[in-house]
Amino acid sequence: MSNQENKETKSNRALMIVFVVLAGILLLIGGSIYLSRDRIQENINDTLAPSRDQEMDETGTEEEEAENTEAAQNTGVTQNAEPRIQVVEDEATKGFSAQHNRYVYYEVTDGDPDTKQLIAGGVYREEAEIEKFCRDMCDLAQNYPDLSRDTIWFSVGEKRYSFALSSYMESGDMTALYNDLYLYVEELTLQEAERSAKAEINETAGNDSGNDTQVSQEYLELYLTYEADAVDTLTDGSEYRMVPVDQAAGSRYYVLLFVAADGKTAEIVNTDPYLGMGGAAKWIHFLDDGKTGFTCLSYSGGAKGAFYRTADGGKTFREVSYPSAKIKLSDGTYYNPFVMPEKVWEEDGILYMEAGQGADGDYYNQDGFCHGLYHSDDRGVTWSYDKEVVVEKEACRN
């Protein structure tokens, strides 16, 4: 081999070595680049993972809400929604309502006929109203077979109560139904009255503002010229006067005045002692503490009386309820003849109240015409019935 050929061979080998070395370097650089790229992608993935999970959760929530909305549209029921109460009337309920002047109807929940309930309205604490409600329900149980009436629902105050009629319909004993319902409703109305009274006492505790008596001196002087319908004279000679200042349809509306013993000093204590009710002030009386007082407003032509109490010297009043004497009529049903409070007095820390029969009263026991005697252990907030007391009929009307 010539020298020239040897030189070319060596040169080619050197080029191959250089090429191999360069190729190796390129491989190393490329591997590093790919490795770095993978690591960067991993970091990116790690960074995005929580956001992606959150997006998946939000997407899942949106999908669930969409499913719930679709379900609500398909079924008419919204998930976690309040029950939908529907008022339903038919010919039977309309007929009873018109006949008895008492609105009755059905309530159905979420369109389910198995939830149908017969609603008989509300009952308030008034003897004639309780008696009428009981008579109406007896008629409903006995003479309205087209009504779904196994159980009735009615309201006292803001609460609703139920009473089952089915057993009485089976036995046909309407006297038992009347009396049991009478006792039940009376107890509920007394409880409601007591709750209301205690709530008012708590609300007004420490509040001396009382009734708004910002009336001009001119009006005060005018009222002092009017004759009072009821007066309570205290031991020092000062007076509380129930003075009529307005009249409509035979009913009077009053202000309560306090007049000092000298007759020169006076003030308007209350511009609406009977809470908007009209009638005739029958009497007013304050106890020795000078703060606790009672008064009666007769109404319905003197047939009934509303009983009121104050604990702050007449600045505020509230109507007081007392229980029925539960006298039985000839047909065996209960009623209360003692509907006109006549007077209140105190003995040994106990308050007593005598209630008469009003202008229409005609109840006699074996000893004669009588009133009902009640007592109170809590300064007249609540009352308990004691017994009948015989009185002269004509004397009690004066």
Q: Are residues 249 and 325 in the same domain?
A: yes
Q: Directed axis angle between helix 174-204 and helix 127-143, to 10°?
A: 140
| Nearest in space to 287 (alpha carbons), one of 225, 333, 350, 338 | 350
CA distance 134 to 179: 8
Domain span at residue 330? 217-397
Q: Which of 182, 204, 226 is the last residue of a domain?
A: 204
Q: Residue 166 corresponds to which amino acid?
A: S
Q: What is the pLDDT of residue 300?
A: 92
Q: Same domain, yes or no, for 119 and 254?
A: no
The reply to whether 374 falls in a domain is yes
Torsion of CA 110, 116, 122, 128, to 10 degrees: 170
- If asked whether residues 248 and 119 sit together in one domain, one would say no
Place of tokens 């339903």: 88
Coil, helix or strand at residue 25: helix
pLDDT for the residue numbered 53: 46
Whole-model pTM above 0.85? no
In this structure, is residue 212 part of a structural domain? no
Predicted pLDDT of residue 58:
46
- For residue 59, is it within any domain? no
Residue 168 and residue 119 share a domain: yes
Question: Which is it for the CA torsion 320, 326, 327, 333, positive or negative?
Answer: positive
261 with 236: CB under 8 angstroms? yes
Question: Are residues 153 and 263 both part of a single domain?
Answer: no
| 3-class SS shares of the chain: helix, strand, coil, % to 5 | 40, 30, 30
- Interstrand relation of 112-122 and 151-156 (parallel, antiparallel or unpaired): parallel
The total number of structural domains in the chain stands at 2
The verdict on residue 274 lying in a domain is: yes
Mark whether 139 and 288 lie in a shared domain: no
pLDDT of residue 69: 47
Same domain, 196 and 331: no
Sole residue written with tokens 């000893």: 367
Residue 56 included in any domain: no
CA 197, CA 203: separation in Å to the nearest integer? Answer: 10
What average pLDDT values come out for the chain (398 residues) when binned by 10 residues? 50 56 50 41 42 46 51 46 89 96 95 93 87 96 94 94 96 97 96 86 59 73 96 96 94 97 92 96 96 97 95 95 95 96 97 96 94 97 97 64
Claim to verify: residue 223 and residue 197 sit in the same structural domain: no
**Where is the domain boundary, 163, 178, 204?**
204
Where among 204, 227, 248 does a domain terminate? 204
Residues 6+ apart with CB under 8 A from 203: none
User: Same domain for 226 and 164?
Assistant: no
Tokens 């590093």 correspond to what residue? 32
Is residue 252 located within the same domain as residue 315? yes
Residues 109 and 174 in one domain: yes
- Is residue 50 classed as helix, strand or coil in its secondary structure? helix
Residue 344 belongs to a domain: yes
Distance CA(341)–CA(327), nearest Å, equals 17
Question: Has residue 21 been placed in a domain?
Answer: no
Residue 264 has what pLDDT? 84
Exposure on the CB side of residue 187, measured as CA atoms within 13 A: 7
Quick check: is 36 in a domain?
no
Do 242 and 325 fall within a single domain? yes
